[in-house]
Amino acid sequence: MGAQTAQPEQRYQAKKTLIRRIQSDRSQRVRHTVQWLFVALNGWIGMQFYLWVRYFERGGQGLYIPRPAGVEGWLPIAGLMNSKFLLLTGHVPAIHSAAMFLFIAFLLMSLLLKKAFCAWLCPVGTLSEYLWKLGRSVFGRNLRLPRWADMPLRGLKYLLLGFFLIVVGAMSAEALQGFMETPYGLVADVKMLNFFRDIGLTAAVVVGLLVLLSMLVQNFWCRYLCPYGALMGLVSLLSPVKIRRDTEACIDCGKCARACPAGLPVDSLVQIRSAECSACMVCVAACPAQDALQFSLPPRRTALPAQNWYRRTLGPLAVAGILVYIFIGLVLFARATNHWQTNMPRAVYMDLVPHANEVNHPGM
């Protein structure tokens, strides 16, 4: 015979040997702990804010609880507007300055650690995660939308983000300051609370629909609709730390891709650049192979493979530590420089808070 026939063992690539990871993965335990601590912090802030609002609604009767500035973490548009004000003027705005510090902290997290804010801190992200897990146990599975529906729907959050960026981008420093000083700007947080306290039928149906969709589709809100997550995702493209796969250690089992809540093809990429990656490390937790999947800086190219990842990977405790460090660092800085609280006389709130529902957007 002229042509040589390949032996079966030559025709097929030899199956890679699995070198099992030595230590069990702790990433999800650490991440869930951080998530619940942040939910508890938000609950604590929410309770104080509610008591503060009730004080003014009762005409100044009862115990006065100071307004918790942390509630402004729920005012991302104010954070965006105030950040632009800071850029234009070099001055920290007087109203809702905490919104700006928190906004900057969350951007910084995304710049360093992908969209970790969404999977580690954001209470809406936490709720979304538990809703799809609940949906999976109730319906037996979650739905994955086909690509033709998934791609355009993912664009919705960027459209919403684009709208806010264009509107805020067109405002001058005077317009930004003027907006914050309007009654609407001053009680934007009270209006948000009232939205949920006095929820109308239409809004309740929309929220109910979102809850149902979040049970059916993994992270429905975050994946398709959240403009804040869209912004964090775009910033996260610059993050030097990414999920990285070592193709030599990987045994191509596909467990990482099947586990990824963002539906990313982790098993066929060397690094995950996607703006959808939230650094949840679920893929890392699912991987059975030692050092195959890491949340890390790019590996060194050394002669000894064992040194490639030396001091390059970020374990879950390091991720949690950096997130907490940035968060607490910015809050302490704002407090130390006396820029954390919005210092508005009580009489102003006494006028505005009980009538917050009657206050309209200045553009309406």
In the complex, the residues that contact ligand SF4 under the rule CB under 6 A are: 243, 245, 250-256, 260, 262, 264, 266-267, 272, 277-283, 286-287, 289, 292-293
CA distances from 126 to 62, 123, 136, 142, 161 (A): 34, 5, 15, 17, 21
Cβ distance to ligand SF4 smaller for residue 84 or 255: 255
At its nearest, how many Å lie between ligand SF4 and the CB of residue 311?
20
Cβ distance to ligand SF4 smaller for residue 21 or 191: 21
Cβ distance to ligand SF4 smaller for residue 100 or 260: 260
At its nearest, how many Å lie between ligand SF4 and the CB of residue 55?
42
Cβ distance to ligand SF4 smaller for residue 42 or 236: 236
At its nearest, how many Å lie between ligand SF4 and the CB of residue 315?
13
Cβ distance to ligand SF4 smaller for residue 48 or 271: 271
At its nearest, how many Å lie between ligand SF4 and the CB of residue 295?
7
Q: Which of 127, 112, 110 is nearest to 233 (CA)?
A: 110
Cβ distance to ligand SF4 smaller for residue 53 or 256: 256
At its nearest, how many Å lie between ligand SF4 and the CB of residue 259?
6
Cβ distance to ligand SF4 smaller for residue 20 or 141: 20
8 Å CB contact between 142 and 136: yes
Tell me the residue ranges of DSSP E strands in the chain.
Answer: 242-245, 293-296
* Long-range contacts, 21-25 (Cβ 8 Å, 24+): 21/287, 21/288, 21/289, 21/290, 21/291, 22/290, 25/284, 25/285
8 Å CB contact between 269 and 256: no
Distance of alpha carbon 81 from alpha carbon 35, whole angstroms: 27
At its nearest, how many Å lie between ligand SF4 and the CB of residue 317?
16
Determine the Cα angle at 72 with ends 67 and 77, to 5°.
150
At its nearest, how many Å lie between ligand SF4 and the CB of residue 270?
10
Helix (H) or strand (E) holding 202: helix 201-216
Cβ distance to ligand SF4 smaller for residue 189 or 276: 276
Cβ distance to ligand SF4 smaller for residue 266 or 326: 266
Helix (H) or strand (E) holding 319: helix 316-336
CA pseudo-torsion sign 53, 70, 82, 206 = negative
Q: Which of 37, 28, 25, 27 is nearest to 327 (CA)?
A: 37
Cβ distance to ligand SF4 smaller for residue 30 or 95: 30
At its nearest, how many Å lie between ligand SF4 and the CB of residue 249?
7
Q: What are phi and psi of 275, to 5 degrees?
A: -70, -10
8 Å CB contact between 70 and 91: no
333: its two tokens: 């800085």
Provide the 10 A C-beta neighbour count for residue 227. Answer: 20
At its nearest, how many Å lie between ligand SF4 and the CB of residue 144?
13
At its nearest, how many Å lie between ligand SF4 and the CB of residue 208?
27
Distance of alpha carbon 54 from alpha carbon 45, whole angstroms: 14
